[in-house]
Chains A and B, each alone.
Chain A
Amino acid sequence: MSTPRKYAVRNLRLCTKDCICLFVCPYGATDTENSVIDVDKCVGCGACAEACPSGAIYMVPATYPPQQKKQDSVLEAMGELSRAKADEEQIARQIAAETGEEGLARLMKAAVKSLRLVHEDVMRESGYMLPQSANAQALLARIADGEGASAQTAKELLDLIPCNEP
């Protein structure tokens, strides 16, 4: 059997766990003990997604198109923001660790989380949308060149994630 171009994923929060997808899947891929659709059995026909009354099943592509190229002017401005966010997060982390004030500690804990999420979003729009992108793969390759546990983790990721760009 050739690799499917798509496969089905069930959103457990939406699934009412009582019904129809079990009957419609020709391969028994939806009938699993942990409710996670079996990727190895699914051929991506989409029958389950169509039948689900709760909109709990969606189809994800097995391969993604290359991400949009970013312009240098945007990347540069995003870089400025990214550097600021990194410093802000670190300052907030240090204050949270050092302060004896209970309220300030909570506010700085919130700041660390908030700034990281905003920073991640900046990175996503800085040419790192897809883990399959050439940018992400180059980053992993550089980390893998180093030493220690991170290098090992990066190598594992390079083995797991195929690049979708030439």
Chain B
Amino acid sequence: MKAVCQLCGYVYDDEKESVPFAELPDDWTCPCCGAPKEFFEIEGSPEEAAEPVADAQDEAIRIATDAEGDVMAGLSAGQVAALCGNLARGCEKQNLPRESALFAQLAESFTAQVEPIDGADIHGLADLLMGDAGRYAAARNAAKAAGDRGSLRALTWGERITNMLSYLVGRYLKDGEAFLKDTEVWVCAACGFIYVGDEAPELCPVCKVPAWKFEKMEVKAS
């Protein structure tokens, strides 16, 4: 039997391991990306077709967004910030450092204009992240129907990264500070994949850049 990590594609082959997959402890994690055992699917088993539907959460988002005000023809400040951040990266790739820096400046100033969200807490964040499953499914269907490969690539990466974040937030809700005590939180600077462990992974399981692209999260001691 073979089990495949749905996050990074790592294959656990019973024939090559001393312990069969089914007998691994529940707290076993993917040796490549750190995903939990439940992220593995048995090879050959039919993939669950039922796509979760976006639910009442969508309403909540729209309300929160409207409160931010109509900064740019329907785009909120947070959206314009991401847009400018993306264009900064585009300029960087085209070797336009000055333009890139200016777009980064715009991104920063729009980020500062984002209205605070009332009652923001980790439960609200967990709910929103769960709701993303439906949004990714809808976007994937639209991109497939349009034959839009660029979007499909972005959606595949984005969904994996979101799944990981959603899992980590859930873990934190369950285990609290103990979960992150004495270990590090890393972010891939290229794609945003988050990894919890003592060292950064050798290769980003999502976008495959090497370990030096990972940034260690540090906060000032209070």
Contact = CB atoms under 8 A, between A and B. Distances in A.
B52 interface: no
Nearest to B215: A113
A88 B151 contact: no
B154 A121 contact: yes
Contacts of A68: 150
A7 to B, nearest CB: 9
A117 B162 CA distance: 11
Interface stretch (A25-33, A47-55, A148-156): A148-156
Given A88-B128, A114-B165, A154 B106 contact: yes
A147 interface: no
Contacts of A78: 139, 151
Contacts of B103: 131, 157
Nearest to B160: A118
B99 A114 contact: no
Interface string B82-124: 1101110111001110110011011001100010110011101
Contact of A118 (B62, B76, B125, B161): B161
A129 B125 contact: no
A110 B217 contact: yes
A74 B154 CA distance: 12
Contact of A94 (B58, B120, B168, B181): B120
Chain B interface mostly: helix
B85 A116 contact: yes
Contact of B194 (A87, A111, A119): A111
B143 interface: yes
Interface residues on B, range: 35 or more
Contact of A107 (B129, B139, B168): B168
A71 interface: yes
B76 A83 contact: yes
Contacts of B81: 86, 116
B65 A83 contact: yes
B10 to A, nearest CB: 20
B215 to A, nearest CB: 7
A77 B177 contact: no
B38 interface: no
Contacts of B165: 111, 114-115
Nearest to B63: A87
A86 B218 contact: no
Given A76-B142, A105-B219, A114-B194, A81 B73 contact: no
Interface string A98-133: 001111111101110111111111111100111100
A106 B138 contact: no
Given A77-B135, A117-B190, A160-B98, 19 more contacts: A64-B94, A68-B150, A70-B151, A77-B139, A78-B151, A80-B135, A86-B79, A87-B61, A90-B114, A102-B219, A109-B219, A110-B194, A113-B192, A114-B194, A117-B191, A121-B154, A125-B151, A131-B90, A160-B99
Interface of A: 9, 60, 64, 68, 70-71, 73-74, 76-78, 80-92, 94-96, 100-107, 109-111, 113-125, 128-131, 136, 139, 142-143, 149-150, 153-154, 156-157, 160-161
Interface of B: 54, 58, 61-62, 64-65, 68, 72-73, 76, 78-83, 85-87, 89-91, 94-96, 98-99, 102-103, 105-106, 109-110, 114, 116-117, 120-122, 124-125, 128-129, 131-132, 135-136, 138-139, 141-143, 145-146, 148, 150-151, 154, 157-158, 161-162, 165, 168-169, 172, 177, 179-181, 185-187, 189-194, 215, 217-219, 221-222
